[in-house]
Structure 1
Amino acid sequence: MTDTAARTAAERHTGVRATGTRPLASEATVVDLEDGRAVVVKRGSGPGAASAEAAGLRWLGEPGDVPIPTVHGVDDDHLVLDHVPEGRPDRDAAEAFGRGLARLHLRGAPAFGSPPPGGPREAWIGLARMLNEPHDDWPSFYARCRVQPYVRQGVDQGLFSPGEAEVFDEVCARLPDLAGPPEPPARLHGDAWSGNVHWATDGRVWLLDPAAHGGHRETDLAMLRLFSAPLLDHVLGAYREAAHDLGRPLASGDERRVPLHQLFPLLVHTVLFGGGYARQALAAARAALRD
């Protein structure tokens, strides 16, 4: 993204003159504004990606349970949102985040696989396509929208053999038994790896870059574990306590189900980045079947 494009988008969506720019990532720029604020201008990873992210941020931020950057505007190419300066991990912030995430999940969603209000059916997780299609139960949603499409892509790319694909087929067939007790759809961030868990200078943990949808709350928790979010024990401990206090404790055996819920992000990484992740996804599928 050019500095000119970032400045133009920031001015259009905030109504304030831009005074400077700073690079943040390959497709994101910090734009300083004349009134002293700073915003981030992001370029979408594909068609509809910016509007999907904006809808997810608004949905997650609406109840105020976890800090979410304010969206100032979105168009076909750009998303403009508040810039949140980076701080350091802190135990109090970790525990507050865990409690807030438990509350956010329990805000619920209309269905498993439902997109955020105003969000598209065909969304994105990072650089990969992601289908948000409402289902009445989590096992059928997870199989049809979060496992099978990426396994097929992996087979087409030569990353899984037909025999390896059958392991995932068995997981999908057994999902009603592997999933644990049924629970209502949760309001999920959907891509809660450590890079999207942002420790800010205001002493709080913010959530960034969602792939938001209605899903199973154990999926967000499994994603936090997958890439080792800082102070994870404190986050999860506070989450468990809050969920219990709210009358919705995690179901027994949730730690055994972590590989099942990590299948989706591992399969996404497989189709984006290749073989090492294919081996991890296959290992997670086999671990889920051993439950």
Structure 2
Amino acid sequence: MDDFVKEHAGSPRGFFAAEAAGLNWLAEPDVVPVVAVIDHDRNSLRLDRVEESSPDAHSAFGFGRRLALLHDSGAPAFGWAPAEPAWFGPLDSPFEVEVASCASFTEFWVETRLEPVATDIANQLSKDEQATITSAIEAISTGIFDGIAGIGTERPARVHGDLWAGNLMWTPSGCTLIDPAAHGGHRLEDLAMLALFGTPFLDDIFAGYEAVHPLPDGWRDDLPVHNFFALLAHVKLFGTGFLGQTLSAARATIDRAETLGP
């Protein structure tokens, strides 16, 4: 067989259309391998079948270079997405996320991602836990993370949006992107997701990335800010088993903001 069908009966209207649009948008600059869309309907998505291979340092470095080029190809705005509605989460229980063209990363991240999910999970949290998450969101709201490591301001990047290790396929032709939540975002969103649950040869990916797009010293200390939404979403989707990681990211965000602040 030369294709693969991803399907789920009763999927939300527009779910597979959004994924197909996201894949096509990521493929558009022709700088990184992306699984090819053949067709889609309400309950399924037909894709080219991809041959898998074992991860290695050479492929990782090459993918890092290509990911930097993808991000540098840009997006119309923070929060813009190639289809509406847009979704985040697994095939059997995704939730809708807002599509909005925002003036800054801070506006996008706080108003359309962090605050809505923090509100959704509030009834699962103690007062102290809510206070920690609220303090982290307030730290981000200052705008100090619009750049990287407190330097400059980032332009909207063309991001995968859910780039954990399971959505990166190692193939003979290079690492291939699957299952995106594609949007205009901050380049560190994808790098943070790669780091969040562990990706093989991560340091080689980062080295390849910086060979194309150098990053300021200390940039990895910003990563908790950029995996904070995914962790909040994991609490929403899967329960408080992810709360410890989420609170750790919140505290790291607060500490990072204090370090970078005046």
Partner of 1:25: none
> What residue number does 1:13 align with?
none
State the shift of 1:131 in Å.
2.2
Deviation at 1:83, TM superposition (A): 0.7
Say yes or no: does 1:125 pair with 2:89. Answer: yes
- Quote the offset at 1:132 in angstroms: 2.3
Task: Kindly provide the amino acid, as one letter, of the partner of residue 215 in structure 1.
Answer: G
What is the CA–CA distance in structure 2 between the aligned matches of 1:46 and 1:141, rounded to whole Å? 23
Aligned positions of 1:37-52 closer than 5 A: 38-44=2-8, 45-52=11-18
Match of 1:240 among 210, 220, 225: 210
Q: Displacement of 1:122 after TM fit?
A: 3.6
Structure with the higher strand share, 1 or 2: 1
CA distance in 1, matches of 2:181, 2:73: 17
Structure 1 unaligned regions, length at least 5: 1-31, 33-37, 244-248
Going from structure 1 to structure 2, the CA distance change for 1:269 and 1:275 (only over 3 Å counts) comes to: same
Cross-structure match for 1:114: 80
1:82 maps to a residue whose letter is D
- SS in structure 2 of the partner of residue 177 of structure 1: coil
- In the alignment, the residues of structure 2 paired with residue 178 and residue 199 of structure 1 have an alpha-carbon distance, to the nearest angstrom, of 31
**TM-score with structure 1 length normalisation?**
0.80
For residue 255 of structure 1, report the CA deviation from its aligned partner. Answer: 1.0
Query: Quick one: distance in 2 between partners of 1:257 and 1:106?
Result: 19
Partner of 1:150: 117
2:187 maps to: 217
1:46-195 matches, cutoff 5 A = 46-116=12-82, 119-126=83-90, 127-129=93-95, 130-156=97-123, 158=124, 160-175=125-140, 176-179=143-146, 180=150, 181-195=152-166
Identity %: 40
Query: Displacement, 1:43?
Result: 1.6
Q: How many residues align?
A: 245
3-state SS of the aligned residue for 2:47? Answer: strand
Compute the RMSD of aligned alpha carbons.
1.5
* SS of equivalent to 2:220: coil
Residue in 2 that maps onto 1:259? 224
SS of 1:183's equivalent in the other structure is coil
1:178 Cα deviation from its structure 2 partner: 4.1
Q: Distance in 2 between matches of 1:258 and 1:199?
A: 24
What TM-score do you get using the length of structure 2 for normalisation?
0.89
